[in-house]
Amino acid sequence: MKVLLLNPPYEKHFIRSARWAAKSISGSNWYPIWLAYCTGLLGKQGHEAKLVDALVESYSIEKTVQIANKFSPGLTVIYISTASLASDVKVAELIKEKTGSKIVLVGPWCAVEPSDIINSSNAVDAIALYEFDYTILEIAQEKELKDIKGLWWKRGGEIIRNPLREPVTSEELNGFPFVTDVYKRHLDIRKYFQAPQLHPFVDLFTGRGCAWGKCVFCLWPYAMTKGAPYRMRKIENVIDEIKYIKKELSYVKEIFLQDDTLQADRAREFSKELLRNNIKTTWSCYSRANLDFDTLKIMKESGCRGLHVGYESADPKILRSINKGVTVEEMEKFTNTAYDLGFIIHADFIIGLPGETTETIKTTIRWAKRLKAHSYQFVTPKAYRNTPLYTWAENHHIIKNGEAVISELSSNELDQWVNRAIKECHLNIYYLYRMMRRPYELGRMIKSAWFVIFSILSGSKH
């Protein structure tokens, strides 16, 4: 079957395929990584799969529909978000009208608000909940919809809710084609940019699911992998993909491991294999703020450049309330060690978590400015349905008009604090000193700073 997999058009620099849905203030573009893995699986099974990232290509809706019409798919898979849903549905309707294609919506948002999503348009035939690779494959194989797990679908005016699908196994992960080969064949790699990474970069999974998986605010562990344990590819399989990148994508300057967090034993295993195979490459990853010295040391020796770290808050009570599992003292020790070893650290913070006050925000900003980080990201939280943070809001009776109001501060106040935090952390003498010590990072920093400053001056929300 001909299958179109689509990241539909929307506002420039809108991020739909990350762990939240919002417009990037640093000019970042994310790979449609989940769609790409599904594209590879479909192609391996003999289907004619076409991956189109209309968002990053800045295609208009009209241009996107023209591409779909020319390809003439029997199945169109659209990765949606709640924030962009009205536009996503419009694209679906036009593709349906032009091609007659079956329309299936995917992405974590389908598990967050399944009833709203499947009822968003008559053009929507079905939605796939959680990891959707094999669900889409079975639709392409033209199996009876009633027999496909992980699917909500329409029969006349009735919504049929099939049983959920089991998470993809480690063995199945090893059977996927390299996602970086999918990028090469379907996407323009040079159009993807993330503020902390060298450009151009690629990203991939060495495993799915979060090794920690307890933070109450995080979307993917609950709405994409449904609390499944960390399932890892064989390290030999991962190393083979790194070798492929070195040979076929030699212009790529950095590899980012998209595993939710790269736990210590996995990080050591990967690092040792890079060293054993004498592979010279630059890589980065998500990390919890508690990796030990020995782990960080071998990661650095193997070529690890950057750590993308979720600190969230400097208030101990808030850290406990979100099940962060690390203390302020542990995070400081980790950061100092990583900095001394030469890592570039991208620090993530969330303003407006349960228990947040003006004083806790000030404390977090002061602490963040002292951290030896090289870039900062501040966002406000979103309590999505079917996540622990939403349940917490329900238990505390603070759901208003279907939205969880988890902070006493207003949305406008939180946005103002976010802007203030970004400015104070990036425009202080200690930060500028740290960056001056790494002049080779200045180009990346200036590009990101331009987008950030423009976004703040234009009053963008986070």
What is the Rg, in whole angstroms, of the alpha carbon atoms belonging to the chain? 22
Q: What number of CA atoms fall less than 13 Å from residue 172's CA on the CB side?
A: 13
What is the predicted pLDDT for the residue at 443? 65
What is the predicted pLDDT for the residue at 461? 53
What is the predicted pLDDT for the residue at 265? 97
Please report which helix (H) or strand (E) contains residue 48, including its range. strand 48-53
What is the predicted pLDDT for the residue at 199? 93
Q: What number of CA atoms fall less than 13 Å from residue 146's CA on the CB side?
A: 2
Which among 63, 118, 112, 66 has a CA at the least distance from the CA of 89? 118
Q: Is 416 left (phi over 0), alpha (psi -120 to 50) or beta?
A: alpha
Angstrom CA distances, 392 to 62, 217, 356, 397, 403, stand at 42, 10, 14, 9, 12
What is the predicted pLDDT for the residue at 75? 98
pTM of the model: 0.94
Neighbours of 200 (CB within 10 A): 16
Beta bridge mates, 185: none
What is the predicted pLDDT for the residue at 456? 54
The stretches in the chain having pLDDT less than 50 are 462
Residue pLDDT, tens place only, 408-447: 888 899 999 999 999 899 888 888 888 777 766 666 666 5
Angstrom CA distances, 201 to 158, 247, 279, 296, 432, stand at 45, 15, 17, 22, 25
The Cα–Cα gap between 202 and 193 comes to 9
What is the predicted pLDDT for the residue at 452? 57
What is the predicted pLDDT for the residue at 393? 84
What is the predicted pLDDT for the residue at 451? 53
What is the predicted pLDDT for the residue at 411? 85
Q: Are 95 and 101 in contact (CB under 8 A)?
A: yes
For the chain, the farthest-separated pair of C-alpha atoms sits apart, in whole angstroms, at 64
What is the predicted pLDDT for the residue at 44? 98
The Cα–Cα gap between 338 and 343 comes to 6
Which among 235, 237, 255 has a CA at the least distance from the CA of 246? 255
What is the predicted pLDDT for the residue at 457? 56
Residue pLDDT, tens place only, 12-50: 889 998 887 888 877 789 999 999 999 999 999 999 999
